[in-house]
Amino acid sequence: MTRKTAREIAVRLAYELGYTNESAQQLLDRMLDREHFATLNQEDDLYADYPDAKQEAYLRALVSGVGAHGAELDGYIEKYAIGWQFDRIPRVAAAIMRVAMYELLYMPEIPRRTAIHEAVKIAERYEDPKVVSFMNGILGSFLRGELPEEAK
């Protein structure tokens, strides 16, 4: 499994966090159970390969971090979504931005431009081009506003 695939799975799990009473840890344990993961492959090729130890650690850190910092990340989305109320932002778009913002803030080993580029690529699979453009603008503004030394 590539990091790109792991990131997209993390987005799906971050999205699911908004619809479950499970903690991030419980959700991860259930979804990353080898038997359960294998059944997901029957529905979607994204789950073709079980993550290796490195990718599983990345997935767990990312989804746990999004779960723990959800309110903070939503605050940033709201701050940079000028003229939009948070509840008008599509939930998939919000999940993608949460994952990217978490990477930008808390995973310094991830190149900043890569986090944004990959978020936009994932968004292109799930959202309308106008929403993708809107998200790209929010993430760019977030990077320049919150991590100006990283935006150069």
Query: Domain 3-146 in CATH: superfamily?
Result: NusB-like (1.10.940.10)
In this prediction the pTM is 0.93
60: three-class secondary structure by DSSP: helix
pLDDT band at 148 (very low <50, low <70, confident <90, very high): confident
C-alpha dist (Å) from residue 148 to 9, 47, 144: 29, 36, 5
Residue pLDDT, tens place only, 101-138: 999 999 999 999 999 999 999 999 999 999 999 999 99
* Alpha carbon distance 55, 27 (integer Å): 16
* Alpha carbon distance 137, 135 (integer Å): 5
Of 5, 2, 10, 1, the residue nearest 100 (C-alpha)? 10
Residue pLDDT, tens place only, 23-49: 999 999 999 999 999 999 888 999 999
Longest pairwise C-alpha distance within the chain: 45
Question: Is residue 152 predicted with pLDDT exceeding 60?
Answer: no
Task: Read off the tokens for 6.
Answer: 């792991």
Of 34, 72, 79, the residue nearest 53 (C-alpha)? 34
Question: Is residue 144 predicted with pLDDT exceeding 90?
Answer: yes
Domain boundaries, the chain: 3-146
